[in-house]
Amino acid sequence: MVSTTPPRVSNSGCQYLPDRTPQSTTALSPNQQLMPLTADVIGDRLRIGGCDVGELVQQFGSPLYILDDQTLRTACQQYRDAFVKYYPGESLVIYASKAWSCLAVAAIVRSEGLGIDVVSGAELHTALQAGITPEKIYFHGNNKSLQELEEAIACGCTLMVDNWLELETLVKIATQPVPIMLRLTPGIECHTHEYIRTGHLDSKFGFDPTQLEELFTFVSSHSVLNCLGLHAHIGSQIFEQQPHQDLAGVLVDFLTKATQAGINVQQLNVGGGLGIRYTESDDPPSIDSWVAGVCQSLVAACQAQNIPLPKVISEPGRSLIASACVTAYTIGSTKTVPSLRTYVAIDGGMSDNPRPITYQSVYRAVVANKMQQPLSETVTVAGKHCESGDILIKNAQLPPTNPGDLLVVLATGAYNYSMASNYNRIPRPAAVLVKAGQAELILQRETYQDLLRQDVLPASLQLT
Ligand code: LLP
C-alpha cells in the first residue's frame, strides 16, 4: 500500500499544494486534492484558510485538527450543484455525519442546504442541536436501541430500517405513521478494504434481496410504516464509477418490485462511498463526474422501466470533509536504527488517527515550518502510544526535522476525530475552523479533568 511515487513538488517548490488556477479554487474537486483548497505557502511556512499553521498551534496547542471552511463548503456545493445539473428530478445530498459529527460541522452542512445521515442517538442529538430540520435527517443503524427508535419517532426524522426486528418493533411502538426507508443489500462488489465494504451479499447491513417479496408485503400491510423509499450503500473509499452506476439500476429494479407490491416509493438513496486522494497515486473521480454517472444511470433505468423519476438522495461523508482538514503535530524524539530506519515521533498518533493501524491507511505529511526545504529524508512517523503498531506514516519523505518542528498530516477530516479514542488516557485534540485569516475553536481540547469526569471511586477505595 505504500506509494513509491515521490511527492509532487509544485512550481513554488512546495509539496502538495492544490492544483489551482490563479483566480479560483472552486472548480477543483476537493476529493482530488491532497491539501485543503486554501493551502498556500509564505516563505517556508504553510497557511490554511489564510492562517499560519505555526501560529494556530501556538494559540490552540498541539496536536490540532485544522478544518478549512472553504474546502468543506466547496465540496457541499459541488455535490448539490452536480445533482441539479445532471438530474431532472428532485435531489437531496445528506452528509454522512459518522465521518465527523460535531456541532460546527453539522451547522456548516446545514447552511449549505444539505441534510444529514446519523447512526446513533447522539449523532441525532448533535444534528438537532445544530438546527438541522428532522425532514432532512435520516437515521441509519443495524441495531438501533428501543430508546433510539423512540427518539427518532419523537423528532420525526426518517428511519432507515435495516432488519426485521426493527420493522416489528416499529409496528409495536408507533402510534402514527413513521417515515421510513428500507435498506437493502444490493449484491454489488467493489474494490476497497474489506472492513469498509457493505454492498456484497455477505454483509451485516440491510435486508437480503431474496426476502424482498416478503418484506414489501409486510410493509404494505402495516399503515404505520410510511415507506418513502429504498436505500443501499456499497462501501467507502471507492474509485471505480461502475459499481455506483450499477447500483442505480439495481435500486430502480427494487423500486419497481415495491411499486408492484403496493408501496408508493418516491425516493432512492444511493449511499455514499466516493473516494478521496490520500496519496499522489490515488486517482478518484471528481464529485461532478461521480454524480453525473449516478444520475445518468438512474435516468436511463427509469426510462427503460417507463417510471417517473424518484427523488434521489446521496449520502457522502469522506468526499465532503476528508481533504478539508489537516492535523498538526509537534515533532519530538527521533530514533535511528542503523541501516534500517529512522523513527520520528510526534505528540499524537493512533488515538487521534486510528486509520493507519485499523485499515493500513497511507497518509502524506509536510513540515509546516520547512515548506521550501528539499525532501532529503525518508523516515517513519511514529505516534506516542504504547503500541509498536502506532505508526502514522511509513517511509515519509520529509526535509530534515528537529524537535519542535510541525508535522502536518493531510486529509484527516474523515473518520479521524470521529474514531478518536483516549488510549493511554491521551486527551483528544482541539479543532479549529479556519476562514479568511480567522480561526475559531470548534472542539475544545480535552483536559485531564475531562477524562476523570466519568470515573467513580467507590467510598471503600478512597484515601482516608
Ligand atoms: N452511508 C452509509 C450507510 C454508510 O455506512 C457510510 C459509511 C456512508 C454513507 C458514507 O460513506 P463515505 O462517503 O464516507 O465513504 N471508518 C472507515 C469508513 C467507514 C464507512 C462507514 N460507512 C474509514 O475510516 O475508512
Ligand 1-lining residues (CB < 6 angstroms): 96, 98-99, 117, 140, 196, 198, 233, 236-237, 271-273, 315-319, 355, 359, 414-415, 419
Q: Is residue 461 part of a domain?
A: no
Q: How far apart are CA 456 and CA 238, in angstroms?
A: 44
Residue 176 belongs to domain spanning: 87-316
One domain, residues 39 and 170: no
Q: How far apart are CA 37 and CA 19, in angstroms?
A: 9
Q: Is 386 a catalytic residue?
A: yes
One domain, residues 267 and 376: no
Q: What is the per-residue pLDDT for 192? A: 63
One domain, residues 102 and 23: no
Q: Tally the domains of the chain.
A: 2
Q: What is the per-residue pLDDT for 14? A: 54
One domain, residues 132 and 63: no
Give the residue, out of 236, 269, 360, with the most ligand 1 atoms within 8 A of its beta carbon, to mutate for a pocket test: 236
Q: Is residue 4 part of a domain?
A: no
One domain, residues 212 and 103: yes
Q: How far is the CA of 229 from the centre of ligand 1 (A)?
A: 20
Closest atom, ligand 1, to C-alpha of 99: 14
CATH code for the domain of 387 = 2.40.37.10
Q: What is the per-residue pLDDT for 24? A: 66
One domain, residues 438 and 377: yes
One domain, residues 309 and 342: no
Q: Is residue 3 part of a domain?
A: no
Q: What is the per-residue pLDDT for 18? A: 84
Task: Look at ligand 1, atom 24, and give the residue with the nearest C-alpha.
Answer: 415
Q: Is residue 162 part of a domain?
A: yes
The mean pLDDT of the chain is 94
One domain, residues 260 and 116: yes
Q: Is residue 456 part of a domain?
A: no
One domain, residues 285 and 355: no
SS3 content of the chain, % helix, strand, coil (to 5): 35, 25, 45
One domain, residues 351 and 308: no
Q: Is residue 100 part of a domain?
A: yes
* Beta strand extents in 201-324 (DSSP E only): 225-231, 267-269, 311-314
Q: Is residue 458 part of a domain?
A: no
Per-residue pLDDT tens digits for 95-150: 999 999 999 999 999 999 999 999 999 999 999 999 999 999 999 999 999 999 99
Q: Which helix (H) or strand (E) holds 15?
A: none
How much is the CA Rg of the chain, to the nearest whole Å? Answer: 23
Closest atom, ligand 1, to C-alpha of 236: 15
Q: How far apart are CA 157 and CA 419, in angstroms?
A: 25
Q: How far apart are CA 17 and CA 10, in angstroms?
A: 7
Q: Does the pLDDT of residue 13 top 60, yes or no?
A: no
Q: Is residue 73 part of a domain?
A: no
Per-residue pLDDT tens digits for 190-235: 666 665 556 677 889 999 999 999 999 999 999 999 999 999 999 9
Sign of the torsion angle spanned by Cα atoms 36, 138, 160, 216: negative
Q: What is the per-residue pLDDT for 27? A: 83
One domain, residues 231 and 215: yes
Per-residue pLDDT tens digits for 336-359: 999 999 999 999 999 999 999 999
Residues sharing a CB contact under 8 Å with residue 394, sequence separation 6 or more, in sequence order: 2, 362, 380
Question: Which residue(s) pair with 397 in the sheet?
Answer: 378
Closest atom, ligand 1, to C-alpha of 320: 13
Per-residue pLDDT tens digits for 22-40: 556 668 999 999 999 999 9
Per-residue pLDDT tens digits for 283-332: 999 999 999 999 999 999 999 999 999 999 999 999 999 999 999 999 99
Mean pLDDT of the region 272-276:
98
Cell numbers for 321, please give them.
Answer: 470533509
